[in-house]
Structure 1
Amino acid sequence: MCPESQVAVIIVTAFVIHGVPASDAPCPGGVALLDTPFSITGDKNNYTGFIWVRPTGGRYVVTCNPSCSPVAGYRATLNDTHSVLTIDSVHREDAGTWKIVDANVVGAVPDDVCQLTVAKVPQCTISSDDDTGSLEPGAQLTLTVNSTDYFCSRETGFSITSGGVTQQLMNASNSLFNLTFNIELHHFGDVTLNFICDTNWTLTCDGVQRLVKSPPKCNISSDADTNALQTGTNITLTVDIRSYHCSHQAEFYITTGGITDVLSQNETTSTFADIVLTSFFNITADRFGDVSVMFSCVNINRTLQCSGVDTITDGTTQISHESSTPKSPPSTEDPERDITLGIAIGFSLLAVVIFVIITVLVVRYRERIRSYLVSDKKQNGQEVNVTDVGNEMGPSYANN
């Protein structure tokens, strides 16, 4: 038995004519929500008077003999052949087999009229251990279903549908279900939870709502350097596309600069396929620019994310641009500052040299004067005194 619910659905699953088992007889009325009115129609079977009997506890709810007398929550109408019982607000106790009993026969055996199944549709969340927006064929995927706050007065079941594949879920504790499977072509598409309680509800849950295949893998290669091409050059681009699928006629296009060429058309595959396509052309000015590949399937157009060659560049323009670009100076130092510093150093050295030369000349001149005075005194028979000679040359020489 499922947990008790607050919002339930009533499913009228069987209707009994006198003597017919409830499981075999139709029960018109459809589905009703808890706390909403719901009506059951029954054949009065030539009773002159009868009583509607509720499933739980065999409670008599409405007596029609000959008119129908309502009680709290229940009322009925009667014509020559049928009686319509209306439940003002459906409760859990209304689930089960509704009956009619002859009001004029003591101890009469009740006749089955309708088997009601009470159900509450669950709240649900589906999560995944992988990115369900970009799945690779053949990869293993685990979906976790958390289904809560549901009720069914009869046996309950769950299944999950992904794309065109429906798989049963085994009941688990705490209303958690795990489903692990390998991704195949038929799994891609919408993901729904099926709640089974005499009938089937298809529910879109929070979380994972669709399994999407990752885009086809794409690589573009070239037989020439696409970064330095000149007009007039012949070039071949090779496009390697992996794991694409289109049950109708797939088409592939390549755009180089401002020109779009057809790579392939009318490609049909029932599974995932690989394809290698080539594009041969002569380089013109319109070919320079970005390179892209578009995959088209029915009304779906997708530009693929390709590795490898992504642009075609004009080599002539590139060389001309490089030659006209001024070279940067080899040094970041300031030339004026260097010249000024050199001149200052030169003047300093020159001053030192001049000072040395003047000093040498003065010393030599002084020595010559001293030698002359000494020689003159000797020739005159005078006594030579170095101090006297110094005094005669001046105070500055005397000190030396």
Structure 2
Amino acid sequence: MAEQRRGPFTIVFMLKIVATVYSTSELICPPIGELGSPVTLTCIGAGATKAHAYSTPDGNTAASCDLTDRLCINFGNFSSTVLNASQSVLTIPHALRTHAGAWKCVSDADSSPPTTCDVVIAKRPSCTMAVNRNTSTLRVDDVITLTVNITDYFSTDLARITLVVGNIQIISISKSVREMTKETLVTTLQLREGHSGNVTIVFESADTKHSEGCGSLGQLISATTGTGESSPPSNQICDSSDTPATREEVSSLAISIAFLLTLT
């Protein structure tokens, strides 16, 4: 009778060991890597893992780590370290475009298919702006031509550039930019109070956002009627992105995008 009672408990214990040994590992990549900056990948083993080997997107070995002895051998311009009995990290000291893609971490030579993660490499843009009028005397309802020069950006993932004037979104562009890119955005605006303040571009790639200031329109002077009373607000409509815009602005707004334009 005693042997029969121990049997079920022995079977449950053995199944637990099997599940632990063959559970999968995990490779963690950052959301995005900045061109020329360090990028760190973390491999987390499972169960009785004894070794990690990192593989680049082109299939070359970047590093191999013995988790038991806490020793790593690096290949090429990479650096790796053992954190504990189940984790190691690989550092790319200076991210290049060639480092973008699917990285792999092999846990032990005879493990199940390696775990992977995608590394996205990007260069955030810089920008400058110019206005065809004196920005210190701009009034609500004035019409201006705003030129924004965006320089040196790219992403190995789909990129999106959004131009924001004050708190109003003006232009949004989504495209693949796998080579270093420059472009110029030119827009004609009938000014509203919401345009007052900074002119900004928002760079989005791989679910991350970065805002870059290009300049400022300053504080707009309120428009007044001939009697000195404030002008009544225009009727507002919303486009598909729910960005407010007046009917007068929509009817007069002209947007043109010129690429690689050099201002004189």
After TM superposition, the structure 1 = structure 2 runs for residues 32-181 of structure 1, keeping only pairs within 5 Å, are: 33-46=34-47, 47-55=49-57, 57-66=58-67, 67-78=71-82, 79-105=84-110, 109-112=113-116, 114-170=117-173, 175-181=183-189
Shift of 1:271: 5.2
Q: 1:174 to 1:61 in 2, by over 3 A?
A: closer
Name whichever structure is richer in strand by fraction: 2
Q: Could you say if the C-alpha distance between residues 171 and 96 of structure 1 is closer, same or farther in structure 2, counting changes exceeding 3 Å?
A: closer
1:263-274 pair list within 5 angstroms: none
Task: Report the alpha carbon displacement of residue 170 of structure 1 after superposing the two structures with TM.
Answer: 3.5
TM-score, with structure 2 as normaliser: 0.63
Q: Residue 93 of structure 1 aligns to a residue in which SS?
A: helix
The answer (yes or no) to whether the contact 1:51–1:102 under 8 Å persists in 2 is: yes
Task: State which structure, 1 or 2, has the greater radius of gyration over its C-alpha atoms.
Answer: 1
Question: How far does the alpha carbon of each residue in 1:157-208 deviate from its partner, in whole angstroms, 9 at most, with x for none?
Answer: 1112222212333479951222333322212122111112221111112xx4
Work out whether residues 142 and 178 of structure 1, in 8 Å CA contact, stay in contact via their aligned partners in 2: yes
Deviation by residue 1:302-332 (Cα, 9 ceiling, x = unmatched): xxxxxxxxxxxxxxxxxxxxxxxxxxxxxxx
Residue 89 of structure 1 aligns to a residue whose secondary structure is coil
Which is bigger in relative contact order (C-alpha 8 A, separation at least 6)? 2
Structure 2 residue 171 is the aligned partner of structure 1 residue 185:
no
Q: Which residue of 2 aligns with 1:234?
A: none
Contact 1:142–1:179 under 8 Å retained in 2: yes
CA distance in 1, matches of 2:171, 2:24: 38
Q: Secondary structure at the match of 2:194?
A: helix
Offset, 1:93: 1.7
Specify the code of the residue in structure 1 equivalent to 2:211. T
TM-fit CA distance, 1:92: 1.8
In 2, Cα distance between the equivalents of 1:174 and 1:34?
A: 16
SS in 1 for 2:201: strand
Residues 255-311 of structure 1, C-alpha deviations (whole Å, 9 max, x = no match): xxxxxxxxxxxxxxx959xxxxxxxxxxxxxxxxxxxxxxxxxxxxxxxxxxxxxxx
Contact 2:202 2:209 survives alignment (8 Å) = yes
Q: 1:210 aligns with which of 197, 217, 228?
A: 217
- Structure 1 residues 189 and 36: CA distance shift in structure 2, 3 A: closer
Q: Is the 1:162–1:189 Cα contact (8 Å) retained in structure 2?
A: yes
Greater helix percent: which structure? 1
Q: Is the 8 A contact 2:106 2:115 kept in 1?
A: yes
Kindly indicate whether the alpha-carbon contact (under 8 Å) linking 2:41 and 2:90 is maintained by their aligned counterparts in 1: yes
What is the one-letter code of the residue matched to 1:202? Answer: S
Rounded to whole Å, the distance in 2 between the matches of 1:86 and 1:242 is 63
CA RMSD of aligned residues (A): 3.4
What SS does the aligned partner of 1:154 have? Answer: strand
Q: Distance in 2 between matches of 1:96 and 1:137?
A: 48
Of the structure 1 ranges 44-53 and 210-219, higher mean CA displacement relative to structure 2 is found in 210-219
Cα deviation code 1:201-250 (max 9, x no counterpart): 11112xx422431366699xxxxxxxxxxxxxxxxxxxx53548xxxxxx
Question: Does the CA-based 8 Å contact 1:169-1:179 persist in structure 2?
Answer: no
Q: Any residues of structure 2 matched to 1:231-310 within 5 Å, and which?
A: 240-243=227-230
Provide the C-alpha distance between the structure 1 equivalents of 2:218 and 2:233, rounded to a whole number of angstroms. 16
The whole-number CA distance in structure 1 between the counterparts of 2:162 and 2:96 is 27
How many percent identity over aligned positions?
Answer: 24
Measure the CA separation in 2 of the matches of 1:105 and 1:196: 40
Task: Output the TM-score relative to the length of structure 1.
Answer: 0.44
Relative to structure 1, the CA distance from residue 169 to residue 141 in structure 2 (aligned partners, 3 Å threshold; closer, same or farther) is: farther
Q: Which amino acid aligns with 2:98?
A: E
Counterpart residue identity of residue 42, structure 1: C
Q: Distance in 2 between matches of 1:204 and 1:194?
A: 9
What is the deviation of 1:131? 3.3
Q: Does 2:210 align with 1:201?
A: yes
Q: Partner of 2:164: helix, strand, or coil?
A: strand
Q: How many residues align?
A: 201
